[in-house]
Amino acid sequence: HNVQVSPDGKFAWVTNNGEEPKEWEREHKGMAQREHEAMGNPGEVWAIDTAADKVVVQVRVGLHPAHVVLTPDGRFAYVTNGGESTVSVVDTQARRVVATIPVGAAPHGIRIRPDGKEAYVANLKGGTVSVINTEARREVATIPVGKGPAQVGFTPDGRLAFASLSQENKVAVIDPATREVVRKVAVGTVPIQVYATPDSRLLFVANQGTKRSPGNTVSVVNLETLEVVKTVETGPGAHGVVVSGDGRFAYVTNTYANSLSVIEVKDLKVIATVPVGRGPNGISVTP
C-alpha cells in the first residue's frame, strides 16, 4: 500500500496486508475499493534491499497496516495500524517492534516532522490528527481537522503542516506551533496524498476521486497565499505524490490508470506518463 525509501537509499520499506477492506475503509469515499489494499502477508512491514531487489526484513506489526515512514536518521520506522487504531514503532536495526502507540480511530497516513521530534498521524475515521512525541513514543496531542483525513505532510522548513480531508475535498493547513488549523483550502475531489516542494513554496495535492467518478488532477497550492494556483491534469485516480529532492519534478501515481505522471515543477506541466503495475498507490524517491 505505501512505500518509504530509507534516508541512505539502501532500503525501501513497505506495508503488506492481505485482509479484506474494513468497515472504516468502506466509509471512505475514495478508499472503499478493493484496489486500495496492499498485497502480502497480513500485519507486516517489509524492507526491500534496493540494490538486490530482494525482501530482507519482515516484521509483524498491528492489524491492517497502512502507511510506513522513517525517522530522519533511518533508525526507526513508524507504521499506522488502521484496524486497531495504533502506531507500531519498529527498530530498523534490531528488526522488531519496540513500541505500540494508541492513536485516533482508523489511522492511515503518517509523516514525521522535519526535525524528527514529532510524528503526525491522519485518523481517517476520527476526523483528527494525532501528534506523537518520538522521544517519549506516545500521543501528546489530538488536532481536530475535519472529515476523512487521509494523509498529512509538512513543509521542509517546518512552518506548516497539512491534512488532506478526503470527505470535504479540502486540505487543512495546520500551524505546528499552536497545533491548530489556520485555513482550509478547497482542492479537487477526494484528495489523498500531499507533498511540499523542498523550498517550502508549493504544495502538491493528489485528487483521487472514486472508482465510479475518478479524479485526475493535482492541485498546486501557493504556500504564501494558501490558494490553489494551478490544477494539473494527470491520469485517473491521482493518489500518491512526491517531489524530487532537487525540487525539479513531482511524481504522481494514477491508481485507476496503472501509470505514473511526471510533472515539471518549474512549468507545472506533465512531461511524461509512465506505465507501471496494477493499482499504484504510494510512492517514494531515492535520495
75, pLDDT greater than 60: yes
CA gap 164, 155 in Å, rounded: 14
Last residue of some domain: 184, 208, 237?
Answer: 184
Q: Are residues 163 and 192 in the same domain?
A: no
pLDDT digits (tens, 9 = 90+) for 204-255: 999 999 999 999 999 999 999 999 999 999 999 999 999 999 999 999 999 9
Within this chain, do residues 223 and 166 fall inside the same structural domain, yes or no? no
In this structure, the answer to whether residues 193 and 153 fall within a common structural domain is no
Pair (138, 236) in one structural domain: no
Q: Tell me the average pLDDT across 36-45.
A: 58
Instruction: Match 491492517 to its residue by C-alpha cell.
Output: 64
List own/partner pairs for 225-229 with CB under 8 A and 24 or more apart: 226/173, 226/183, 226/185, 227/185, 228/185, 228/186, 228/187, 229/202
State which residues form the domain around 200.
Answer: 187-287
Say how many CA atoms lie within 13 Å of 94 toward its Cβ.
8
Q: Which of 135, 166, 184 is the last residue of a domain?
A: 184
Q: How confident is the model at residue 42 (pLDDT cuts 50, 70, 90)?
A: low
Residues 142 and 225 in one domain: no
The pLDDT, as a whole number, for residue 25 is 44
Among residues 136, 166, 184, the one where a domain terminates is 184
Q: How confident is the model at residue 18 (pLDDT cuts 50, 70, 90)?
A: low
Mean pLDDT of the chain: 93
The confidence score (pLDDT) of residue 239 equals 98
Sheet with 65-70: strands ordered across: 65-70, 76-81, 86-91, 96-102
Residues 6+ positions from 94 with CB-CB distance below 8 Å: none
| Mean pLDDT to the nearest integer, 56-74 | 97
pLDDT value at 21 more than 90: no
Report the CATH number that the domain containing residue 148 is assigned in CATH.
2.130.10.10
Torsion angle defined by CA atoms of residues 104, 64, 286 and 199, in that order, rounded to the nearest 10 degrees: -20
Which residue type is seen at 85?
Answer: S
CATH no. for residue 260? 2.120.10.30
Q: What sign for the dihedral angle of Cα 46, 247, 185, 225? A: positive
Indicate whether 204 and 144 sit together in one domain: no
Do residues 232 and 128 both lie within one domain?
no
Domain count, the chain: 2
**What is the CA angle 121-127-130, rounded to 5?**
25
Does 231 lie in the same domain as 142?
Answer: no
Same domain flag for 138 and 239? no
Whether the per-residue pLDDT at 95 is higher than 50: the answer is yes
45 and 169, same domain (yes or no): yes
Regarding whether 149 and 10 lie in a shared domain, the answer is yes
Do 240 and 158 lie in a common domain? Answer: no
Average pLDDT value for residue range 245-266: 98
